[in-house]
Structures are given as C-alpha cells and as structure tokens.
Amino acid sequence: MMKIKKGIQLIDQHDKNYMYGGKFGGNFIPETLKKPIDDLTELFSKLRKDKKFLKERDFYFKDYVGAPTPFIKLENLTEHLGGAQIYAKVVSEANGGAHKIYNATVHCLIARRAGLREIVGDTRRRLRR
C-alpha cells in the first residue's frame, strides 16, 4: 500500500522515474520521446507555480470554459457510506459539455508558453494559431 505524505501534493509523491509508491505509474516511453517529455515536465513544474500563468488559465476557464461548474451532493452514496459528505463536480455544464475542455485549454496554454505553434488533439485535428 502506498503511504500518502502529508503536506505534499499527490502529484509530487513519486520517485525520479515517476513511480508512485514504488510500483504505480512510471516513465516507460520510447527513447525518441524522452527529451521532449523531460522538457515538458520541466516546463510544467515551473508553470504550475507561476502566478501569471495560473491567472491566465483562470481567465480562460471562466470566460471560455464557463467555470466554475457546480457541485452536487450525492445523497444516496452519502447515506450508503454512513454520513460521509460525498459531492461530484458537474463538468458537463462546461462549454463543450465535457471535462476535456479543461485539459485542452491547459495544453494550449502550455504549448504557447513553450513557443509551439501546432497542437495535435486526440481527435487528430490540427489546431494552429
């Protein structure tokens, strides 16, 4: 079982090979992708603490995605678990109707910061600016 350390975000609880708890996750990628992924990892580690970047992300989330989306209480699950207060975020109310808009928005912002001009999404459509 993985021990979760207090005071450290879960995303940061890995070793140098991105293994969580010594057995979950990992960085198993083709050698040709190692450098670009390491570069992206380094950029992301800087941007996730960059107040200007987070402010820009929040602007797009609010004005384009429609965030914040509401939470609803899951009454039946709350009752079933004996009183634990269980909520779910209703991301289907975001523009586009899915959680993917959050992911795509951040990917585009990171790419712009990296100086990249093209993004290939999971729909295989090319997005250019």
* Closest among 38, 46, 60 to 106, alpha carbons compared: 60
Query: In this structure, are 129 and 103 located in the same domain?
Result: yes
Token pair 């790419």 is found at 111
Query: Is the whole-model pTM more than 0.85?
Result: no
Is residue 119 within 8 Å of 111, Cβ to Cβ? yes
Domains in the chain: how many in total? 2
Residues 39 and 55 grouped into a single domain: no
Phi and psi at 113, nearest 5°, equal -65, -30
- The tens digit of pLDDT for each residue in 3-23 reads 788 888 877 887 777 777 777
Give Cα separations from 121 to 18, 28, 71 (angstroms): 24, 21, 28
Inside any domain, residue 2 = no
Asked whether the beta carbons of 113 and 43 are under 8 A apart, the reply is yes
Question: Do residue 66 and residue 125 come from a single domain?
Answer: yes
pLDDT in tens, 85-101: 999 988 888 888 777 88
**Pairwise pLDDT comparison (73 vs 96), residue with the higher score:** 73
125, part of any domain: yes
Range of the domain at 80: 51-129
